[in-house]
Structure 1
Amino acid sequence: MPGLTIGDSVPNLQVQTNQGNFKLHDFIGDNWTIIFSHPGDFTPVCTTELGKMAAYVPEFDKREVKLLGLSCDDVKSHNEWIKDIEAYTPGCKVSYPIIADPNREIIKQLNMVDPDEKDSSGKQLLSRALHIVGPDHQVQVKLSFLYPASTGRNMDEVVRALDSLQKAMKHKVATPANWKQGDPVVISPSMSSDQAKETFPQGFETVDLPSKKEYLRFTNV
């Protein structure tokens, strides 16, 4: 499906939210930002998702990450629905803004349209899309998740992926399968052993493989 994807810059759209109107670039600024969509207000999976996102705000704050939701419903609907979300998730407040897109134009430009699902009037539904935008002045999408309307997100995986992106950007490394914060990372094959010794003075381990190619190297950063 055409539209925003990894490596693209987020368009500087003027948006209306339950916390006022602004341009996306002004909101994002120099921050890591998560832009996420939900198929509709007052729907069951979305209510659990936005409640869980609110519950994880302290984790995102630790990582200096902004949150920005999106739905095709209007601002009035968002404000009423937030009461349900907060009731379902006691002790958590929906402190992040939620974009309104009743004309369904923003969802197309942000690549958040479900290609198969439609509402009762035949209009396309939002997918459960989530873009993690980097802080490098390019307003660039670093990672995207795209789920159908029927499948709720796993917030632990969102945080894990965010940790991986931040670790990779800071230390110029990559993270292996099932990596989590505190686990060893891998060194790029493009880096020579001499460069690796200089870059990672704490040392690294090279895995002995049948090919005898020394490309799988682990270190802690």
Structure 2
Amino acid sequence: MSKDDSQPQPAMPQLNAPAPAFEVRTTAGRRSLSDYRGRWLVLFSHPADFTPVCTTEFIAFARAYDEFQALNCDLLGLSIDSRFAHLAWLRSIKENFGVEIPFPIIEDLSMTVAQAYGMIQPGASDTSAVRATFLIDPEGMLRAMVYYPMSNGRSVPELLRLLEAMQTSDVHGVATPEGWQPGDKVIVPPPQTAEEAEARRQDGYEYTDWYFCKKEIAA
């Protein structure tokens, strides 16, 4: 066994499994995962307060806050910094950029939440959370994970798009193609039997082949 192999590996949460529970202190008081039951939650980590890339991300999340709220979704940030550092950074963002951050930030000095969600990546840093984003559904199930390197900011519009795509799939029992946007056609699930495959051409969909059909959905 090599030296690297002997090091403990970060825990990794599983898609379509319950998201790791937490009860934490934030810039808006105590929060737990159960507080968000019945709503979607975007939980996202950043390496450190008072860093330029993270500042651009928080500004983008703040500007999209109402759009997330309209989709029944809350935002919750995290870094391995104290609440006092968080508060000072939020004040700096407001003073320097004119943007007020309307969502809480978790204080995770013990790295408990970061470890539970696999936000600590030894290949990047043993002490800072990478740019990880977790989309948790109203039942507390982890539905998507997106990781970015420390050097590059994530795309908030893409996270909004992904959230709405998943909600559309849940409501209509469909899949969404690459780059799908609200109003675009969706993909019909493929047939499950030879008989269904044979009849697929007559089902009224936009037919390309038995396994590839699209349809429009009501707005």
Is the TM-score greater than 0.5? yes
Moved over 6 A (4+): 193-197
Aligned to 1:31: 39
Go from structure 1 to structure 2 and tell me whether the alpha carbon gap of 1:162 and 1:89 turns closer, same or farther (over 3 Å shift). Answer: farther
Work out the CA distance in 1 between the residues paired with 2:200 and 2:216.
12
Aligned to 2:7: none
Aligned to 2:48: 40
Gaps of 5+ in 1: 209-213
SS at match of 1:126: coil
Aligned to 2:119: 112
The answer as to 2:19 corresponding to 1:10 is yes
Aligned to 1:128: 131
Go from structure 1 to structure 2 and tell me whether the alpha carbon gap of 1:195 and 1:37 turns closer, same or farther (over 3 Å shift). Answer: farther
Work out the CA distance in 1 between the residues paired with 2:96 and 2:185.
38
Choose 4-13 or 153-162, whichever is displaced more.
4-13
SS at match of 1:51: helix
Matches within 5 A, 1:145-184: 145-184=146-185
Contact 1:5 1:144 in 2 (8 A): no
Aligned positions, number: 204
Work out the CA distance in 2 between the residues paired with 1:7 and 1:98.
25
RMSD: 2.1
Contact 2:75 2:104 in 1 (8 A): yes
SS at match of 2:154: coil
1:69 pairs, out of 71, 77, 102, with: 77
Question: Shift of residue 88 of structure 1?
Answer: 4.6
Contact 1:130 1:144 in 2 (8 A): yes
Question: Shift of residue 21 of structure 1?
Answer: 1.0
Go from structure 1 to structure 2 and tell me whether the alpha carbon gap of 1:196 and 1:34 turns closer, same or farther (over 3 Å shift). Answer: farther
Aligned to 2:5: none
The amino acid of 1:17's aligned partner reads T
Contact 1:184 1:220 in 2 (8 A): yes
Question: Shift of residue 161 of structure 1?
Answer: 0.7
Work out the CA distance in 2 between the residues paired with 1:159 and 1:189.
26
The amino acid of 1:74's aligned partner reads S
Go from structure 1 to structure 2 and tell me whether the alpha carbon gap of 1:194 and 1:30 turns closer, same or farther (over 3 Å shift). Answer: farther
Gaps of 5+ in 2: 1-9
Deviations 1:32-66 (A, max 9, x none): 11000000000110011011100001111111111
Question: Shift of residue 93 of structure 1?
Answer: 2.1
Q: Once the two structures are aligned, what percentage of the paired residues are identical?
A: 31
SS at match of 2:42: strand
Contact 1:47 1:84 in 2 (8 A): no
